[in-house]
Amino acid sequence: MKNFAFLGSAAVAALVWAVPAWAQDAGAEGDETEQPEVYTIAARDDIIVTTSRAWTDLPARYPGSVSVITADDLDRRQTRNIADVLRDVPGVAVAGVAGQTQIRLRGSEANHVLVLVDGIEVSDPFAGEFDIGTLQAEPGARLEVLRGAQSALYGSDAIGGVVAYQSASGDSLPGFAARLEGGTQGTLNGAARYGAHGIGWDAALSAVVVSTDGQPNARGGTRDIGRDSYTLAGKGSVEVTEDFALRAAARFIRTEGQTNDSDFDIASPTFGFIIDSPGVTFTNEAIYALLGARLDTLEGRWSHDLSAQIAQVDRETDSPFGLTSASEGDRIKASYVSAFEITREHRVTFAADYEVEGFRNAFAGSGGFTTRREIEQFGLVGEYRYGGENFDLSAAIRHDINDLFQDATTFRVGAGYRITESTRLRAAGGSGVKNPGFFELYGFVDGRFIGNAALRPEKSTGWEVGIDQQFGRSTSLAVTYFDSELEGEIFTTFPPPNFIATPANRATTSQQRGIEVAITARMSRAWSLDAAYSYLDAEENGIEEVRRPRHIASAALTWEAPGERASATLVVRYNGETPDVAFTDPSFVPVRVSLEDYTLVNFNARVKLTDQIGAFARVENLLGEEYEQVFSFVSPGRSAVVGVEARF
């Protein structure tokens, strides 16, 4: 505690001490120039890499909807949990509880979003989705979010889109970087990273630790729900020859924490509500790795890329009486991508993916299906891209051969046309598919959730139109309208006479339509603003889909001193009224409820003490908003941290 008190005093003192100096420097610089001021928007890390299986894009030339959250964005907002900053992306809804944080894109389900980390698929093959709450921000990392069906490029899981997290390479961020912070609720976080590069090689190694005693998450509860999360990651590449290169990436994530259970006492007035459950904990552990090789031929016009990746995800929940649930999921995937540049404007790509997912219910006491099962899939992809002076076109088609399900063919097309130097129109359309997972096929807890081996894949089709408008060199606006339909949606039904939960495919159609708006403005040399708004109408057979708010908005206002010697950012995030379900009926048939809207305000500031060392502080949920992201799970209240950071 003494060390923490010293750390906090030093950081706060540095922030206060620096204020007069900022004002003097800003005034001095303002007096020195008579030039008219023009404020330009910083480049969004120049290129995006997930819009194609082989080629990179400039954001301004991609015909679909993509958002890039740069390393500077993450740094300015002092992002620690990647799930938090995703709230600032149009079309993204986030809902989290201890042990599972979900993201939904454009009204899709959480298991309809493909998450890539350094090119590795990181979803849990057992659950069919990735717990985005376990992904912590590393120094120099960045995010790309593709909205709209991407199955034509990436296969199952990408109905709603793709979220790609990329850690910094040893070449892009060489040297040593570290941060250490502490705060309320016993919070102690740290990160360290080292990157290096030379002629024909680069390497990076990073470690992140997040620890907090937490806060109560049950209505009226007093039990703090804390967690400890550890991440160790590395990546590197080497050019064996001028035309042949090897690369590798690996990541280990372990999260341990407390959680609470629902009250299952039918006679209790809190039946179906989350209650304090001493001794109930969860542990999630995951290992990911990728090896790849790339060969360039025909003077770089024809490339061949071969890669193999693995994922192993283990999850369990414990109580004072022992293990209450456990699952094991693993994935092996091999990919070959061949890309040929016919001319500078015309490019084609062929890709082949082979994937095997394995899963097992590792809790024998559940009475459910505990035998290991596998799903095998082979996919073939063809892609064509045209890039002209003012017109861009992309088209992709994929055919998946499945061993358990009917084979599927998906497509995606998009085009963009620049009418003037400042106005661009774009449109895209495509289809997606999502295969049922182990939990849905075979069940988990006997007598409470029975699987359905007759399930068929979910299928979607959708389209979007948008306009990108530049106002001078300081402001940009993007507006997109989207519309999609989902057939065969997998949902949980409770058939009589026993009303035991079991999944089934809906016979009706689920529809998602809405509007996304993104604004970036550089108002002066010191001030900038990023804002986003999403309107969503997601209904299934006329009934609003759960955990998909109609209105989501965010704004991040940043002030930066000359020479980047100090900065401050105010982030405001609004989440509209959200439908959800509650299991407060003794029959366990869900009851529809509505969660109140809420607004979160975060504020942070930082100052450079030297060229290499800085101090920072932030307050999250500044107004102490009381809110729920999931029925009866109370989300964290106000918290504050201070810290120091260094880069050499």
- The model's pLDDT over 378-424, given as tens digits with 9 standing for 90+, comes to 999 999 999 999 999 999 999 999 999 999 999 999 999 999 999 99
Under 8 Å between Cβ of 249 and 119: yes
How much is the pLDDT for 27?
Answer: 40
- Cα dihedral 502, 504, 510, 512 sign: positive
Segment 585-613 shows an average pLDDT of: 93
**pTM (predicted TM-score):** 0.92
Share of the chain above pLDDT 70, in %: 93
161-166 β-sheet, strand order = 65-69, 142-147, 161-166, 113-117, 120-121
CA triple 279-281-285, angle to 5 deg: 155
Q: Residue 28 — very low, low, confident or very high, per pLDDT cuts 50/70/90?
A: very low
Which has more pLDDT, 438 or 289?
289
How much is the pLDDT for 448?
Answer: 74
| CA dihedral angle for residue 230, residue 231, residue 232, residue 238, rounded to 10 degrees | 180
Q: Residue 212 — very low, low, confident or very high, per pLDDT cuts 50/70/90?
A: very high
Buried b (16+ CB within 10 A) or exposed e, 399-410: ebebeebeebeb
* 369: helix, strand or coil: coil
Under 8 Å between Cβ of 400 and 375: no
A 10 A CB-CB count for 138 gives: 23
**Is residue 20 pLDDT above 60, yes or no?**
no
How much is the pLDDT for 588?
Answer: 74
How much is the pLDDT for 43?
Answer: 53
Q: Over the stretch 288-304, which tens digit does the pLDDT of each residue have?
A: 999 999 999 999 999 99
**The pair of three-digit structure tokens given for residue 527, joined into one six-digit string:** 């001030």
Q: Over the stretch 82-94, which tens digit does the pLDDT of each residue have?
A: 999 999 999 999 9
How much is the pLDDT for 47?
Answer: 87
A 10 A CB-CB count for 23 gives: 11
Which has more pLDDT, 589 or 175?
175
For the domain that residue 383 is a member of, what is the CATH number? Answer: 2.40.170.20
Under 8 Å between Cβ of 434 and 133: no
Under 8 Å between Cβ of 340 and 302: yes
**The pair of three-digit structure tokens given for residue 114, joined into one six-digit string:** 């493909």
Segment 104-127 shows an average pLDDT of: 96
Among 206-220, 307-321, 443-457, 547-561, whose mean pLDDT is lowest?
443-457
DSSP letters, 181-241, are EEETTTEEEEEEEEEEEETTEEEEEEEEEEEEEEEE-BTT---EEEEEEEEEEEEEEEESS
Q: Over the stretch 144-184, which tens digit does the pLDDT of each residue have?
A: 999 999 999 999 999 999 999 999 999 999 999 999 999 99
**The pair of three-digit structure tokens given for residue 322, joined into one six-digit string:** 């022992």
Q: Over the stretch 332-391, which tens digit does the pLDDT of each residue have?
A: 999 999 999 999 999 999 999 999 999 999 988 777 778 899 999 999 999 999 999 999
Segment 439-454 shows an average pLDDT of: 83
Mean pLDDT of the chain: 91
Q: How far apart are CA 162 and CA 413, in angstroms?
A: 16
How much is the pLDDT for 44?
Answer: 54
**Is residue 582 pLDDT above 50, yes or no?**
yes
How much is the pLDDT for 16?
Answer: 35
60: CB partners within 8 A, 6+ apart: 424, 468
How much is the pLDDT for 7?
Answer: 36
Under 8 Å between Cβ of 132 and 122: no
463: CB partners within 8 A, 6+ apart: 427, 428, 429, 430, 482, 483, 484
A 10 A CB-CB count for 301 gives: 14
Radius of gyration of the chain (CA): 25
Detail the DSSP E strand segments found in 455-508: 458-471, 475-487, 490-493, 502-505
Q: Residue 244 — very low, low, confident or very high, per pLDDT cuts 50/70/90?
A: very high
**Is residue 35 pLDDT above 90, yes or no?**
no
Share of the chain above pLDDT 90, in %: 83
Q: How far apart are CA 119 and CA 505, in angstroms?
A: 31
Among 41-50, 101-110, 265-274, 566-575, whose mean pLDDT is lowest?
41-50
Residue identified by tokens 């007069």 is: 20
164: CB partners within 8 A, 6+ apart: 49, 50, 115, 116, 117, 143, 144, 145, 146
Using alpha carbons, select from 94, 482, 100 the residue that is nearest to residue 257: 100
Q: Residue 40 — very low, low, confident or very high, per pLDDT cuts 50/70/90?
A: low
- Is the bond preceding 549 in cis, omega lying within 30 degrees of 0? no
Segment 602-612 shows an average pLDDT of: 97
The secondary element (H helix, E strand) that includes residue 452 is none
Largest CA distance in the chain: 82
CA triple 101-102-105, angle to 5 deg: 150
Domain of 560, in residue numbers: 2-647
How much is the pLDDT for 38?
Answer: 58
Using alpha carbons, select from 115, 153, 116, 112 the residue that is nearest to residue 457: 112
Q: Tell me the C-alpha to C-alpha distance, in Å, between residue 447 and each of 277, 367, 437.
A: 23, 8, 19
Output phi, psi for 153, to 5 deg: -100, -40
Q: Over the stretch 97-108, which tens digit does the pLDDT of each residue have?
A: 988 999 999 999
Q: How far apart are CA 336 and CA 351, in angstroms?
A: 6
Using alpha carbons, select from 627, 641, 647, 648 the residue that is nearest to residue 97: 627
**The pair of three-digit structure tokens given for residue 152, joined into one six-digit string:** 């034509």
How much is the pLDDT for 492?
Answer: 87
What's the domain count of the chain? 1
Q: How far apart are CA 129 and CA 315, in angstroms?
A: 13
Q: Tell me the C-alpha to C-alpha distance, in Å, between residue 464 and each of 61, 153, 442.
A: 16, 18, 36
Detail the DSSP E strand segments found in 342-474: 346-361, 373-387, 391-402, 408-418, 423-434, 458-471
Q: Over the stretch 508-537, which tens digit does the pLDDT of each residue have?
A: 999 999 999 999 999 999 999 999 999 999
